[in-house]
Amino acid sequence: MLLLPTAKGGLYFPSHAAVVVVIAPRSGIVAREPWGRRGQTAPGLVAIGVVAVLLCGTRTSADSPLLLSSRRAERQRRWRGRWRLRRLGVQGEAGAVDKDFKVYSPSALSNYMASPFVSWMNRLLKECPDDPRCAFIGPPPLGTFFWVRGEEVEQRLLRFFRCERPEMKIMDLTHLIGEAKRQTTIEGPWRAVATEMALEELMRGEADMYFQVPLCHPELGLFGIADFILRRPAADGCVEFAIWDTKLALHPRPYFLTQLAAYAECLEFLLRARGSEAAVESIGLVLGESAADHGLAHELSANEVRPYFRQLWARFRVAQEHFDPAGSPPDPADTATAALSQWSPYAKKLFSERDDLALVAGLTRLQRRKLMAAGYDTMHSLASLRPSQLKRFSKVTGIGEKSLQKLRLQAYLQCQTLSSGRTASRLRPGARLALAALPAVDKGDVFFDLEGTPLPPPQAAREYLLGVSTRDGVYHDWWAHDAEKERDAFRDFLSWLKERRRRFPALHVYHYGSYEASAFRRLRRDPGMQDVFDDITTLFQENVLVDLYAVVKNSLALGLPGYGLKNIEHFYRPKRETEVTGGADSMVVYQQWMDDPDGHDWQSSGKLHSIRDYNQDDCESTRQLLSWLRRRCSTLLSSRGDASATDGNEEEADGEEEGPDEVVDNWKAANPAAEMQKALRALKKAASEACAV
């Protein structure tokens, strides 16, 4: 039977009604599951009365029992809402948490710490999606393709405790949010309801670990869901809580700590409001899938982190309260390029419009701030510096004279490129020596490139494709989809290379960037690769590896925004036409293949085939780069000097050759405690900067 509202606020019984069945959406019986869940409705709906009516078209009056009952329900809802807020330590109306001020999550603070610009733009997109600036959003950041694995880290840790620590009682509170939202119309704001229900479970103490715990701090306007809260007995007989969070990342970050500190602040506030002597003693990070599989968390005292959280939260709230969609966002130049994520296209647009110093390749954020403090806030103003001014200007800015010389030259060449439409370039000091040091041509030379992911799942391969092209254009590849196959792939490559060196003793392995050399250093530390330790060491001792990026970067200044292979290859080859166009694309496509394989190898899988094509193209581009350098080498070495400027397609240059010459590996194994302290120091610095603003 339905009750339909009238225009005057009464209730109307449809004329065809004959029977009204009064249903209780919740019975007085509370279902309780074996692991301690409360608040769930017993199965089925309980009919508490059946009333026969013979009303045809009857309307209720303003003082009818039905409306009076509705008013009583509203008063009861308000009273219960105020009661719940008082229990949380706040005086006010039931709607205060949801309506009177904004509620933000710890994740919102983490995003703000990573980039105030991105945080501002994300809010603009949410509140004003039709704003013209939102049209400049780019593709989603790479991290979004790993979110499923991030969720899996939580489940891995749960499985560890359930399987390896069966004596621990675990209570899953995931259902509380949905339960609270269903009660909202009767019992007040759902955040307060969910938090109160969670707090009751924590205070009851019937479990050792609580999963997905909603927590709110109405005074701070803070609400979040803690992954794990562990209840531990203290030495003095009281109770201590530890809050853990799981991350796919393998290294701690300052904003990871602030997120945990936010949960600790909420729980401490709630405990004090209840008059409890329990305390939040520690916070912990479970970093990566392997750590979750073994139940390993790196902990810090909560009291070490919470003061910095309070400073950052205050700054964050000020920024949110002063948000104005009609205004300008924070300066994107204060954000690391990698953190600009999908707003990178709009940031580049802003840089171009204001001729920002951030356009200068190789210029750091600290150098930018120093230059701006000295009155040089555009790329053209930096380019206009005269060489005779550099010494004095170095003292004013605190930037080394040689660094200033490089930056001025880079800015000058980029301005030349913009004005002429052709890429300007100039030899750097020492370019002759660097180019002359390029190894002699050898028929056995090979061109090497790796495809890998920074966050491989446990037992999966980090480097999933090793590719190499020979001087005659023949391409070889080795694939690996798990850690053991990765070791086998490197062994096979090293065996192939060793045999090739017997035939061509003077060959070199050319690559672009430090990634490939770093991969070999990592393998040399792997206990499972000690059988080829000598083979790997030989690559470094005999300078077999040659990084062409070092050659390009140190011998030639180019009027380009960067020195990546994709930036400079337009000098010597047409635009790429492969489906995968960058390293990030390769990682995304490989992750998609892992989630949904469309074949077992590159021959049967379109996804793997596209990655192979991209890798082959990279190897070929590296070979063409070396040929281009050698063709230009004689011209450059016979030119008058390093100061001669050239332009566009006549411009080549690369510099400094020198393969990795490190024989001693200075890498030290990661120390979790040291890394946590490092993250804490970075957090302290961020808090100090927030207070200074």
pLDDT tens figures, 478-493: 999 999 999 999 999 9
Q: Are 223 and 266 in a shared domain? A: yes
The confidence score (pLDDT) of residue 272 equals: 92
User: Looking at residues 592-597, what average pLDDT do you find?
Assistant: 88
Q: How far apart are CA 236 and CA 225, in angstroms?
A: 29
Instruction: Provide the residue range defining the domain that includes 408.
Output: 355-422
Residue 87 inside a domain? The answer is no
Q: Are 367 and 228 in a shared domain? A: no
Could you identify the residue written with the tokens 């300008």? 328
The confidence score (pLDDT) of residue 559 equals: 92
Q: How far apart are CA 603 and CA 280, in angstroms?
A: 55
pLDDT band for 185, please (50, 70, 90 cuts): low
Q: Based on the structure, what is the number of domains in the chain?
A: 3
The confidence score (pLDDT) of residue 139 equals: 78
Torsion of CA 570, 571, 574, 579, to 10 degrees: -30
The confidence score (pLDDT) of residue 167 equals: 92
Q: How far apart are CA 509 and CA 659, in angstroms?
A: 9
The confidence score (pLDDT) of residue 125 equals: 93
How many helices (H) and strands (E) are present in the chain, helices listed first? 23, 20
At 462, the amino acid letter reads: R
**Regarding predicted confidence, which is higher, 662 or 608?**
608
Q: Are 314 and 371 in a shared domain? A: no
Q: Are 176 and 146 in a shared domain? A: yes
Q: Are 455 and 555 in a shared domain? A: yes
User: Which of 372, 395, 517, 365 is CA-nearest to residue 449?
Assistant: 517
Which of 264-273, 501-510, 629-638 bottoms out in mean pLDDT, i.e. has the lowest?
Answer: 629-638
Q: How far apart are CA 565 and CA 379, in angstroms?
A: 24
User: Looking at residues 248-269, what average pLDDT do you find?
Assistant: 93
User: Looking at residues 589-593, what average pLDDT do you find?
Assistant: 89
pLDDT band for 637, please (50, 70, 90 cuts): low
Q: Are 259 and 315 in a shared domain? A: yes
Contact yes or no for 506/469 (Cβ under 8 A): no
pLDDT band for 634, please (50, 70, 90 cuts): low
Q: Are 460 and 403 in a shared domain? A: no
Residue 677 inside a domain? The answer is no
Backbone phi, then psi, for 646, in 5-degree steps? -130, 180
Length reported for the chain: 693
pLDDT band for 78, please (50, 70, 90 cuts): very low
Residue 679 inside a domain? The answer is no
Residue 296 contacts by C-beta under 8 Å, 6 or more apart in sequence?
286
Residue 398 inside a domain? The answer is yes
Q: Which residues of 56-85 are buried (b: 16+ CB within 10 A; e: fewer)?
A: eeeebeeeeeeeeeeeeeeeebeebbbebb
User: Looking at residues 645-655, what average pLDDT do you find?
Assistant: 34
Q: How far apart are CA 115 and CA 344, in angstroms?
A: 12
User: Looking at residues 310-337, what average pLDDT do you find?
Assistant: 91
Backbone phi, then psi, for 639, in 5-degree steps? -75, 170
Looking at 422, 450, 480, the residue that finishes a domain is 422
Please calculate the CA angle 614-552-415 and round it to the nearest 5 degrees. Answer: 100
Q: Are 303 and 208 in a shared domain? A: yes
178 φψ region: left (φ > 0), alpha (ψ -120 to 50), beta (else): alpha
User: Which of 357, 385, 327 is CA-nearest to residue 127?
Assistant: 327
User: Looking at residues 554-574, what average pLDDT do you find?
Assistant: 88
For residue 216, give Cα distances in angstroms to 178, 197, 231, 532, 536: 16, 12, 19, 55, 54
Q: How far apart are CA 612 and CA 615, in angstroms?
A: 5
Q: How far apart are CA 466 and CA 451, in angstroms?
A: 7
Q: Which residues of 108-127 are buried (b: 16+ CB within 10 A; e: fewer)?
A: bbbbbbbbbbbbbbbbbeee
CATH of the domain at 524: 3.30.420
Please calculate the CA angle 304-310-312 and round it to the nearest 5 degrees. Answer: 105
Q: What percent of the chain has pLDDT over 70?
A: 78
Could you identify the residue written with the tokens 């997109």? 125
The pTM of the whole model exceeds 0.95: no
CATH of the domain at 402: 1.10.150
**Regarding predicted confidence, which is higher, 499 or 102?**
499
pLDDT greater than 60 at residue 280: yes
Q: Are 383 and 447 in a shared domain? A: no
The confidence score (pLDDT) of residue 434 equals: 80
Helix (H) or strand (E) holding 216: strand 209-217
**Per-residue tokens: 625:** 């780069």
Residue 249 inside a domain? The answer is yes
The confidence score (pLDDT) of residue 592 equals: 87
pLDDT band for 636, please (50, 70, 90 cuts): low
Looking at 392, 422, 452, the residue that finishes a domain is 422
Q: How far apart are CA 98 and CA 4, in angstroms?
A: 28
Residue 600 contacts by C-beta under 8 Å, 6 or more apart in sequence?
none
The confidence score (pLDDT) of residue 435 equals: 82
Could you identify the residue written with the tokens 């009238």? 6
Which of 54-58, 83-87, 536-540 bottoms out in mean pLDDT, i.e. has the lowest?
Answer: 54-58
Q: How far apart are CA 470 and CA 619, in angstroms?
A: 9
pLDDT single digits (tens) 7-58: 334 443 343 333 333 333 333 333 333 333 333 333 333 333 333 333 333 3
pLDDT single digits (tens) 216-253: 998 899 999 999 999 998 777 789 999 999 998 888 99
User: Looking at residues 591-608, what average pLDDT do you find?
Assistant: 91
Q: Which residues pair with 24 in a beta bridge?
A: 46
User: Looking at residues 681-686, what average pLDDT do you find?
Assistant: 86
The confidence score (pLDDT) of residue 145 equals: 66
User: Looking at residues 332-361, what average pLDDT do you find?
Assistant: 90
pLDDT band for 341, please (50, 70, 90 cuts): confident
pLDDT greater than 60 at residue 81: no
Helical packing angle, 365-373 and 390-397, nearest 10°: 100
User: Looking at residues 274-279, what average pLDDT do you find?
Assistant: 89
Which of 400-404, 454-458, 517-521 bottoms out in mean pLDDT, i.e. has the lowest?
Answer: 454-458
User: Looking at residues 568-595, what average pLDDT do you find?
Assistant: 84
Q: Are 481 and 411 in a shared domain? A: no
Contact yes or no for 124/325 (Cβ under 8 A): yes
With 0-12 / 13-18 / 19 or more C-beta atoms within 10 angstroms meaning exposed / middle / buried, residue 616 is buried
The confidence score (pLDDT) of residue 376 equals: 93
Residue 128 inside a domain? The answer is no
Q: Which residues pair with 285 in a beta bridge?
A: 245, 298
pLDDT greater than 80 at residue 264: yes
Residue 628 inside a domain? The answer is yes
Q: Which residues pair with 170 in a beta bridge?
A: 209
Contact yes or no for 509/446 (Cβ under 8 A): yes
Contact yes or no for 125/246 (Cβ under 8 A): no
The confidence score (pLDDT) of residue 6 equals: 38
β-strands 222-233, 556-558 pairing: unpaired
Helix (H) or strand (E) holding 473: none
Contact yes or no for 231/202 (Cβ under 8 A): yes
Which of 7-21, 287-301, 554-568 bottoms out in mean pLDDT, i.e. has the lowest?
Answer: 7-21
User: Looking at residues 289-299, what average pLDDT do you find?
Assistant: 92
Q: Are 297 and 363 in a shared domain? A: no
Residue 387 inside a domain? The answer is yes
Q: Are 534 and 565 in a shared domain? A: yes
Helices assigned H by DSSP within 274-400: 288-293, 302-321, 344-353, 365-373, 379-383, 390-397
pLDDT greater than 80 at residue 67: no
With 0-12 / 13-18 / 19 or more C-beta atoms within 10 angstroms meaning exposed / middle / buried, residue 538 is middle
User: Which of 510, 583, 520, 582 is CA-nearest to residue 548?
Assistant: 510
The confidence score (pLDDT) of residue 48 equals: 33
Looking at 422, 455, 478, the residue that finishes a domain is 422
The confidence score (pLDDT) of residue 121 equals: 94
Contact yes or no for 648/632 (Cβ under 8 A): no
Q: Output the average pLDDT for the chain.
A: 80
Could you identify the residue written with the tokens 């300066």? 331
Q: How far apart are CA 36 and CA 151, in angstroms?
A: 24
pLDDT greater than 70 at residue 615: yes
pLDDT band for 188, please (50, 70, 90 cuts): low
The confidence score (pLDDT) of residue 22 equals: 37
User: Looking at residues 501-511, what average pLDDT do you find?
Assistant: 96
Fill in the DSSP letter of residue 57. S
Q: How far apart are CA 570 and CA 130, in angstroms?
A: 37
pLDDT band for 635, please (50, 70, 90 cuts): low
